[in-house]
Structure 1
Amino acid sequence: MKKIALGVDIGGSHITAALIDLEQKVEIEDTWSRSRIQSDGSAEEIINAWAETLNQASNGYDLKSLKINIAMPGPMNYKNGICKIKDQDKYKTLYGLNLKQLLASRLGISPSAIHFMNDAACFLKGEVFSGSLKGYDHAIGLTLGTGLGTSYMLDGKVKDSGLWNMPFLKGIAEDYISTRWFVKRFAELNGTAIKDVKDLVDNHVGTAHFETIFAEFSLNLANFIHKFIRKDMPLAVVLGGNIVNAEPYFVQDTRKHLAEIMGYSFPVKRSALGEKAALLGAASWQ
């Protein structure tokens, strides 16, 4: 039998799962399953929805014979599978619960088959495993979305950096490098509300405020990356998350600002795997 694992990526509003061929470094055909999750639901509703998605992704394989590796946002006791998320408008009902035991019970498998890992670290590991950072052994990863995920890799070992709350400008890094910054800043400049960065790109491209907000974001991002580089001295950085879908409006300027700050060009790469990165990274975790 092929060396396979069930890779899972849990976000604030979704769960994605697929069987991964670890030798070919690809998902197994017809196993991709993605579902929206009501993260404000009861613990039972959330666990049941997760279990249903995992059953769909197993596609006839016996879950009892599979290693199930799950990328999950923190804070969390990953080793024991205990959720520590609170005050984040998601998964409030899971706080303090042993998700490993609850999910295993719902699936009818041993808790020892389920492994939770930090989602930002899984994103970076996925890009090293089969994405834009293949061949690198020292790098950092940023996931730019609802929040800010940070991770680093040294000698093939990937860890969550937890720099979302690093002191930055007049607050913390996540205050300036996240969807909520775009929403807040656009309201300050334009006096109207946007839902997210996609809304900004779809409905306001070409306006003066559009250009201003991305100019500010690219400079903020470059300054944050520089702080990250000085801390961990990586050889490259990879960017992922939903905000990266707006790449044409900020990534090149971010590279330019970073080169001006550092005095030389530093590799700033876009995720090659997109939302599959964390899933592949989780599956490949040893």
Structure 2
Amino acid sequence: MRPVLEIGGTHVTAALADPHTATVARSVRRPLDARGTAEQILGAVVRCAGDLEAAAGEVWGVAVPGPFDHDKGIARFEGVGKFDDLYGIDVRSVLLDGVWPRPAETVFLNDAHAFLLGEWRAGAARGHHRCVGITLGTGVGSAFTVDGGVRRTGPGVPPQGRVDLLRVGGRPLEDSVSRRAILARYGDGDAANGVLDSAVDGASGGVLGGVLDGALDVREIADRARAGERRARHVFDETFTTLGAVLAPCLRGFDATALVVGGAMAASWDLIRPALRAGLGDTPVALRAGALGENAALIGAAVYVT
């Protein structure tokens, strides 16, 4: 069993994961405020790791989003709306000094890479020689792998292996595909001005006040789309058709046979899949939602260390 950590925007999870059987034997989860101080964030991470009570002298795998210097273990978050107070901090040293029993070493990897490695070992990408993973949440994470080895360069692979560095209409991809992009697009139309869509029914409450008061999130927009609200469905269709069109050349160039989608937004897979498929056109790739849930990144971190 390998001790691992997954650090996310709302929580941190410590677990013992077996990279060979792709199982998680024990896990501890703590809430995390990505906008908190460095002391608050790292304190929660260290306490969570300590609560796992892993054996001393182990090598820990740590899945953490970017921007982050994963080789050196140094946070590079700046202007991304999360973990900004960690900028420049040597997180590796904090964990090595703070976690008890003491680890021998910590190995960091991008959380999207961890997700895809877990799905490749035992989930939706299993059996695929070349595959791509996308995580949809605050932004768009990505991973390109060949037989479980991460690729950051080569045919079809965007700079640094990051699709978020691609552009749509001269603007960053995340201006069109991200949580903030979906909320902005939904609020830009008549709904934001208090004009009700004619397709809104009782299931959506008949009012769109959430757009105005900031209470509405992607999950609620998805619920409205399922309830028949045309504007909400249009937002999902436009967003993920765009993503598919951006990904299609990458997938063809990389010769991928599977595209696996995870992250918080994957809970709306019934709405995402048709639009994403439409954007991909005739790209010959299996399109799948992640199968392992929150365990994917934990298993992937264990696979990476091994």
* TM-score past 0.5 threshold: yes
Correspondence for 1:224: 246
Cα separation, 2, equivalents of 1:95 and 1:253: 36
Cα separation, 1, equivalents of 2:39 and 2:275: 46
Aligned with residue 118 of structure 2, among 126, 131, 135: 126
Write out aligned runs for 1:1-286 (5 A).
4-28=1-25, 31-58=26-53, 61-62=54-55, 64-108=56-100, 112-159=104-151, 161-189=161-189, 190-191=191-192, 192-193=211-212, 195-203=216-224, 205-260=227-282, 262=283, 265-285=284-304, 286=306
Which amino acid is 1:35 matched to? R
CA positional deviation for 1:162: 1.4
Which amino acid is 1:156 matched to? G
CA RMSD, Structure 1 to Structure 2 (Å): 1.9
CA positional deviation for 1:131: 0.8
Identity of aligned residues (%): 28
Asked whether the 8 Å contact 1:186–1:209 carries over to 2, the reply is yes
Structure 1 residue runs of 5 or longer lacking an equivalent are none
Cα separation, 2, equivalents of 1:97 and 1:72: 14
Number of equivalent positions: 275
Cα separation, 2, equivalents of 1:99 and 1:276: 23
CA positional deviation for 1:55: 1.9
Asked whether the 8 Å contact 1:259–1:266 carries over to 2, the reply is no
Cα separation, 1, equivalents of 2:151 and 2:294: 19
Asked whether the 8 Å contact 2:36–2:85 carries over to 1, the reply is yes
CA positional deviation for 1:168: 1.4
Cα gap change, 1:113 to 1:40, in 2 (>3 Å)? same
Asked whether the 8 Å contact 1:6–1:17 carries over to 2, the reply is yes
Cα offsets for 1:125-184 (capped at 9, x unmatched): 111011111111211110011100011002431246112021113412111121111100
Asked whether the 8 Å contact 2:133–2:143 carries over to 1, the reply is yes
| TM-score in terms of structure 2 length | 0.84
Cα separation, 1, equivalents of 2:237 and 2:35: 35
65-74 or 249-258, which deviates more: 249-258
136-145 or 109-118, which deviates more: 109-118
Cα gap change, 1:257 to 1:45, in 2 (>3 Å)? closer
Asked whether the 8 Å contact 1:12–1:39 carries over to 2, the reply is yes
Cα separation, 1, equivalents of 2:303 and 2:176: 32
Correspondence for 2:203: none
CA positional deviation for 1:275: 2.1
Cα separation, 2, equivalents of 1:40 and 1:179: 17
